[in-house]
Structure 1
Amino acid sequence: MADHQDLVETGNDLIDLISDVAKDQELVTAAVKEKIKQDMEMKECVKQMLNDLSVSEQNLGQKLLDTEDKRAQQVEELESLNDQLRKLTKMSQNKDSDIEFLQRELEKLKSSEQEIQMLEQEVEEGTTEIIPEAQHTARLYHNITKIKWEFETQPNILKGVHYGELAIPINIDTSKVSPCEVSNQLWALISTE
C-alpha cells in the first residue's frame, strides 16, 4: 500500500510539475509576444524618425537653395543700382538728392546681402553633408556667369555651354592659348548689362 501511496504522490507531483511547466510556458509565450510587440513598436518609431530626418534634410536643402536664389537676385539688384548710380553721376552732378536716395538703397542692399551671406553661411554649416562645397561653388558660378561646364573632359580642354540670350557652346584647348586669352574669351560671353 505504501508503494501505491508513493506512486499516487509521485503522480500528483508530476501533475503539479506539468501544470507549473504549462504556466511557465504561458508566461514565456506572453513575454515573447510582448517582446515582439515592443520590437515592432521600436521599428515603427525608428522608421518615423528616419522619415522625419529625411524631411528635415529636404527642407534644409530647399532653404539653402532659396537663400542662394534670393542672394543671386539681391546681387543682380545691387549691380543694377550700381549702374544706375554711375549713369546719374555722369548725367548731372546737380541731382544730389537722387544720388543720395540710390546710395541709401545701395546700403540697404549691401546690408541685406550681408544678412543673406550670414544666413547662407549658417545654412551651409548645417548642411555640409547635404550639398558639398564644390557643388555649391559650381552652382554659384553658374548663377553668376550662366556657364554650365562639362567636367568629364581631357585636362587641357574647357567644355561647356554659356546660356545667355543664346546658348553658345564653349570648347577651348588651354594648351594652345594663354590663360589671359582664355579669360578674355570667357568674359566676352558674359553680358555687362
Structure 2
Amino acid sequence: MAAFRDMEEVSQGLLSLLGTNRAEVQQRRLLRRHEQMVERLLETQDGAEQRLREIVAMEKEVAQNLLDAKEQAHQGGAKLQQLEAELQKAGEEDTHLKDSLLQLTQELDELKEIEADLERKEREVEEDTTVTIPSAVYVAQLYHRISKIEWDYDCEPRMIKGIHHGPSIAQPLHLDSTQLSKKFISDYLWSLVDTKW
C-alpha cells in the first residue's frame, strides 16, 4: 500500500515538474526514484508470489499428511476391531475348552470310580468262585474232552464255527444261528458227541 502511495506522489511530482519549467535534474531524480519503486514493487510482488507458492505447497503437504493420518487411523481402527473380534472368539473358545476339560475330568473321575467298583466286584466274584465253582479253564477243558470240538472264537457273532475231531476224521463246523433254530443247533452238536465210552 505504501509503495502505491509513493508512486502516486512521484507521479504527481512529475506532473508538477512538467507543468513548471524546473530543472531536468529533478525530473531525472524523480524518474530514478520511480524506477526504484517499481523495481521494489516487482521484487515485493515476486517475494509475495514465492511465499504464496510456498504456503500453498505447505498446505498441500499438511493436507496430504492429514489424509494419510486419517487413513492410518481408519486402518488402525479396522485392525483394532479385527483384533478385538479375534480376542473375543479366542476367549469364547477358551471358555468352551475349559468347560469341555471340566466335563472330561468329571467323566474320568466317574470312570475311575466305576473301574474301582468293578475291580472290587471282580475280587468278590473271584473269592466266591474259587470256593464253590471250578475254574473256567477246567470247564472248557472238560467240555473239549467230551465234545472234541475246537471252537473258532474269531468268527462273526452270529456264526458258529470250529472243527470237530471225531473218531475217524476231523470235520469243520459252520452253522448260521440266524438261519437255524437253537434246538436244531443243540441237537446237532449233541449228535457229534461220541456215546461209546
Q: Larger C-alpha radius of gyration, 1 or 2?
A: 2
TM-score category (smaller protein): 0.3 to 0.5
TM-score normalised by length of structure 2: 0.45
- Which protein has greater RCO, CA pairs closer than 8 Å, 6+ apart? 1
TM score, norm. by length of structure 1: 0.46
